[in-house]
Structure 1
Amino acid sequence: MKSLQELMDSKSNFVDYLYNDTISQYHKSRTGYFASLIAPEYTNWREEQRAWRESAVLFNQSHHMPELFVKGPDAKRLLEYLSPCSFANLATNRGKQYIAYTERGHHVGDCILHYYGEKDGFELISGMPVLNWIRYHGETGGYDVDITFEPTTPYTPDGKRSKYRFEVEGPSARKILDEVCEGGFPEIKFFHTEYVKIAGCRVHVLRHGMAGHAGAEISGPFDEMDTVRDAILSAGEKYGIRQAGTRTYYSTPLENAWIPYPLPGIYTGEENRAYREWLAPDSWEANMQLGGSLYSDNIEDYYWTPSALGYEKLVKFDHDFIGREAIEAGLKGPKRVKRVLEWNLEDVKRVMNSAFEDGPLYKSIEMPTAYWGWPQADEVLSKDGTRVGMSQYCGYNINERAMVSLCGIDEAYAAPGTEVVLTWGEVNGGSRKPHVERHEQTQIRCRVCDAPYSKTAQEKLRAVI
């Protein structure tokens, strides 16, 4: 087979294929080699979670995120046309959350974008579906652009990257950065950037926050990674800084309510056929691994819109872009919106207790993150059994002492405090995915909550808005 389209044509039911027979690129990249680069836990995930609320953590983002570098005379025109994000405020001293959609208004992907000026162009970080979407249009759309793709570290020939990337997070992050940066840490507005020096190295800083605090994402040349990391850890020792492993890192969305890697809406529509013919049969999109209780032969039931992901505020109609008409119509409603579901603890305990009692055995709830699909889609029902939403990402947060999940839910059921039900476990006793054990489905009562769920994150969000 030469393309994703040929792969799809060879399957009588492509949803069934994604649900049962794929091994996601995400899980492929979590190899033993990757674990040697970043430990799953440097101490233990519970203390690492607590550190981002009580002291500080250092997340290492240097290896798991692909990157795309786009420059040339048409670079801005290309990226602006592919996204509803406004480029009117484009500047070299501010980052941008970049999103892209199909002509039908279905979400393709999102990433972080930096602009370094006309000569050096743009850097787009993470989000394979959106990076592939950009690559395709850049190569086939007649744009005068130079595009360089850099995969995650396990897929690089020499195990090296152009840049390292760290996140310093927590209530003591500012004190640590103030000490480690030569001349102190500058005042930087949220999602703005600046250059500082750490241990003699020039470091690019994005004022950011992943776990509810005013953190900073810092990056620089890959060969300076150890020098910068050691300096930060040394300065942070007296503040109780901890390195956070991958188990902790992948639980951060439960606090900041970012929904990672929704299924890209590219599998339907003749207007997307050429793109599917461009994508390889072993591409990221060909290996999305659906999981969870939502099972539908209609793949569009797994698609997302801007409002469902909480991206409505990023959509600006000050330029022409792919999907403009569909998005404009969709935002008029009725629509889905982003919320957090707080799981009923009695129901959670009942599911966990099933492993130790006679009777039905329910799907295990792993901690701190409980997802087993990439992406995972669990159906959310109203009290009368009507499907009203889709839960995407779930797990435990020790700072809130709660099991929660992120979801897109119909506006009519989105008011905080509304009671809904989440179906837990897969159909027919579980899929053929080798990491999914045989089990029975059950239901977990949930309470609809604001997104983000963390009170600390909500306070920080209000501060920047």
Structure 2
Amino acid sequence: MSAKNLQEVLDQAGNTVELLRNSRLGPYNFPVVPAEFTNFRREVIAWHETAVLYDQTHHMFNLWMSGPDALRLVTDTGVNSTANFPVDSAKQFVPVSPEGGVIGDGILFRLAKEEFVFVGRAPVCNWLTYNAGKGYDVEVRRDNRSPSNTFGKAVTRDVWRFQIQGPRAWDVIEKLNGSKLEQVKFFRMGHLEIAGERVRTLRHGMAGAPGLELWGPYASYEKIREAILEAGREFGLEPVGARAYGISAVESGWIPSALPAIYTSEELRAYRQWLPADGYEANNALAGSFVSDRIEDYYLTPWALGYGGHVKFDHDFVGRSALEAIEPTIQRRKVTLALNAEDVAKVLASSVLDGPQYQFFDLPLTPYGSSQFDEVQDADGNVVGLSLYPGYSPFERKALSLATVDPDVPLGAEVRVIWGEPDVTRKVTVQPHEQVTIRAIVSPAPYAAMARESYKPGWRTAVTASA
């Protein structure tokens, strides 16, 4: 009998890890936006040296929440404090399960006293939508991401969403505005006039330098985009394509691919029965050298992902008791791993040389599953962390990976990433291969110096969630 919901999928599979490790989900496709406008190397370098236009219109979910209980809904479901959450500001919103594992994250905007919009990936949108139906006086409107394959069909969204970022970003923004413009505080919102249209703005900092996220009605998409490109021409502004976009997360320290920790809690059985049998949570593909029989071993705490500073016990929320029982000082922490160039070259060369074949190291983004988990070992072979999001930075000329490691692993330590899976899974993104060890140096997150020196302490580096 065909499963009717996620819980039935899990019951029929018997082992959740095996189900997800053998997912037939194909490679991630960034929808609608071209892969490259020039080439991904040039586009990545531009956000360090001049300015770029990121098009975030199509790959994220928008969840609009309004009504008397909208604030109570986000307060009850997020680890974040809402005691100081003024209108026209935003927060990095992080919900956890009753067991304390992160479900996902994204940006939560407060548009009015009783109006919010969450922008991010499917797991958090699903979680908020489900909880909104549990006695809250709130109206929810959901605008799903654009399909990965449009096959020439017209695509529309509620809003377009752009970011102007880079060292010359503010020059572009002031030219669009026609005059000097005050730089509002980080994660504060305002307005801007572009080509006769009044658009909303959020002070952002994806590349470390001052920048803005902009959004407005989708009908003005082409008009606004062309105006930004024209204004940015004299400042070297480059439009960023789908290939380069994800490298901003690697450089600036945002891990977009945490496995939603919703598969085991008995309290979430009704939620799993509400989730569809063919949705994100049922098809999420686990990949990498770390293999455990327990799906709980893939759950990540807020501290492991760099969100410990967001956890505030000034309110009741789902998962509070589990987080209160955790000692933060012994939790794994987020770092960047700078992968050894010779070892990476060996993996790349295996595709064209006789001899061992290693799992393909794609460029610029290397994960071959929705949620990547590669073992990080010390010199004695002890597992001391997990490599979660690898890629290649043309600006740094390095292969880097965002990771979470034990608290006693110092910056500067040499560790080893085990690349490739220990057995043959049915994922369509892998071919038969041998495992290989890649040496790495434990480094700060964010890795990019500009981002490390410019971002406000305690904030997650400002990369809006990739869906």
TM-score normalised over the length of structure 2: 0.94
Per the alignment, do residues 158 and 350 of structure 1 end up closer, same or farther by CA in structure 2, a change over 3 Å counting?
closer
Answer with 50-59 or 431-440: which moved more.
Answer: 431-440
Q: Is the 8 Å Cα contact of residues 95 and 102 (structure 2) preserved in structure 1?
A: yes
Superposition deviation, residue 245 in structure 1: 0.2
Going from structure 1 to structure 2, the CA distance change for 1:158 and 1:366 (only over 3 Å counts) comes to: closer
Instruction: Report how many residues are paired.
Output: 454
Distance 2:130 2:186 in 1: 32
SS at match of 2:223: helix
Task: Give the superposition deviation at 1:44.
Answer: 0.2
- Which residue in the other structure is 1:427 paired with? 422
Q: Is 2:61–2:121's contact at 8 Å kept on the other side of the alignment?
A: yes
The partner residue of 2:343 within 342, 347, 364 is 347
Runs of 4+ in 1 over 3 A off after TM superposition: 155-158, 462-465
Indicate the larger mover: 358-367 or 197-206: 358-367
Is the 2:24–2:428 Cα contact (8 Å) retained in structure 1? no
Of residues 414, 432, 436, the one that matches 1:438 is 432
Q: Is the 8 A contact 2:205 2:455 kept in 1?
A: no
SS at 2:89 equivalent: coil
Q: Report the residue type matching 1:443 in the other structure.
A: T
Match of 1:89? 84
Distance 2:113 2:166 in 1: 35
Evaluate the alpha carbon distance shift between residue 50 and residue 442 of structure 1 in structure 2; reply closer, same or farther with a 3 A threshold: same
The one of the two structures with greater contact order (alpha-carbon pairs below 8 A, sep at least 6) is 2
Say yes or no: does 1:153 pair with 2:146.
yes
- 1:193-247 Cα shifts (integer Å, max 9, x gaps): 1111111111111111223322211101111111111111111101111111000
Report what 1:377 is aligned to.
373
Match of 1:122 in 2: 116
* Cα drift, residue 12 of structure 1: 2.7
Instruction: Report the equivalent of 1:451.
Output: 445
Change (3 A) 1:363 1:258: same
Q: Do 1:182 and 1:196's aligned partners in 2 also have CA atoms closer than 8 Å?
A: no
Aligned twin of 2:240:
244
Structure 1 gap ranges (5+): none
Partners in 1 of 2:382 and 2:91 — Cα distance?
A: 37
- Alignment of 1:9 onto 2:3: no
1:132 matched to 2:134: no
Counterpart secondary structure, 2:446: coil
Q: 1:79 aligns with which of 74, 79, 82?
A: 74
Could you say what secondary structure the match of 2:287 adopts?
coil
- Cα distance change on mapping 1:411 and 1:103 into 2, 3 Å: same
Going from structure 1 to structure 2, the CA distance change for 1:389 and 1:464 (only over 3 Å counts) comes to closer
Partner of residue 228 from structure 1, selected from 200, 224, 229: 224
Secondary structure of 1:350's aligned partner: helix
Q: What is the CA distance between 1:331 and its match in structure 2?
A: 3.7
Using the alignment, how far apart are the partners of 2:212 and 2:450 within structure 1? 16
Q: Is the 8 A contact 1:339 1:407 kept in 2?
A: yes
How far apart in 1 are the matches of 2:81 and 2:327?
17
Q: Counterpart in 2 of 1:22?
A: 24
Counterparts of 1:432 and 1:463, CA distance in 2: 42
CA distance in 2, matches of 1:93, 1:331: 34
- The separation in 2 between residues aligned to 1:463 and 1:176, in whole angstroms, is 26
Residue number among 382, 389, 396 corresponding to 2:385 in the alignment? 389
8 Å Cα contact 2:98-2:265 kept in structure 1 = no
State the SS of the aligned residue for 1:330. coil
After superposition, residues 265-414 of structure 1 pair within 5 angstroms as 265-413=261-409
Q: Secondary structure at the match of 2:272?
A: helix
How much does 1:411 deviate?
A: 0.5
- Deviation of the 1:7 alpha carbon: 0.3
> Quick check: 1:83–1:321 contact (8 Å CA) kept in 2?
yes
Match of 1:144 in 2: 137
Q: Over residues 382-425 of structure 1, what are the superposed CA-to-partner deviations in whole Å (9 max), with x where a residue is unaligned?
A: 21111111111001101111111001111011x21011110001
- CA–CA distance in structure 2, aligned partners of residues 21 and 164 of structure 1: 32
Are the structure 2 counterparts of residues 406 and 242 from structure 1 closer, same or farther at C-alpha, using a change threshold of 3 Å? same
Distance 1:54 1:333 in 2: 37
Give the C-alpha shift of residue 182 in structure 1: 4.1
TM-superposed CA distance for 1:464, in Å, is: 8.7
Q: After the TM superposition, which of the residue ranges 69-78 and 183-192 deviates more from structure 2? A: 183-192
Number of the residue aligned with 2:98: 103
Q: 1:186, CA displacement in angstroms? A: 2.7
| Alignment partners' CA distance in 1, 2:390 and 2:280 | 22
Task: Tell me the alpha carbon deviations over residues 125-172 of structure 1, each in whole angstroms, 9 at most, x when there is no partner.
Answer: 012111111111111x21111111110122899621110000111110
Question: Residues 464 and 434 from structure 1, CA distance in 2 versus in 1: closer, same or farther, beyond 3 angstroms?
Answer: closer
**Alpha-carbon distance, 1:367 to partner:** 0.9
Task: Report if aligned partners of 2:167, 2:209 keep a CA contact under 8 Å in 1.
Answer: yes
Counterpart of 1:166 in structure 2 is 162
Distance 2:457 2:314 in 1: 26
Separation in structure 1 between the aligned mates of residue 68 and residue 88 of structure 2, nearest angstrom? 20
Following TM superposition, by how much is the alpha carbon of 1:462 offset from its aligned partner in structure 2, in angstroms? 5.5
Match of 1:460 in 2: 454
Q: CA deviation at 1:459?
A: 1.1
SS of the residue corresponding to residue 412 of structure 1 reads: coil
Q: State whether residues 83 and 99 of structure 1, in contact with CA within 8 Å, keep that contact through their aligned partners in structure 2.
A: yes
Consecutive unaligned residues of structure 2, counting only runs of 5 or more, are: 460-467
Query: Is the CA contact 1:206–1:218 (under 8 Å) kept in the aligned structure 2?
Result: yes
Retained in 2: the 8 A contact 1:212–1:255?
Answer: no
Give the Å deviation of 1:360.
1.0
Deviation at 1:298, TM superposition (A): 0.8
Shift of 1:463: 7.5
Deviates more, 1:293-302 or 1:454-463: 454-463
- CA-to-aligned-CA distance 1:244-285 (integer Å, 9 cap, x gap): 100011111111110003101000121111111111101111
Query: CA 1:105 to 1:457, structure 2 compared with 1: closer, same or farther past 3 Å?
Result: same
Alpha-carbon distance in 2 for matches of 1:167, 1:58: 6
How far did residue 357 of structure 1 move?
A: 2.8
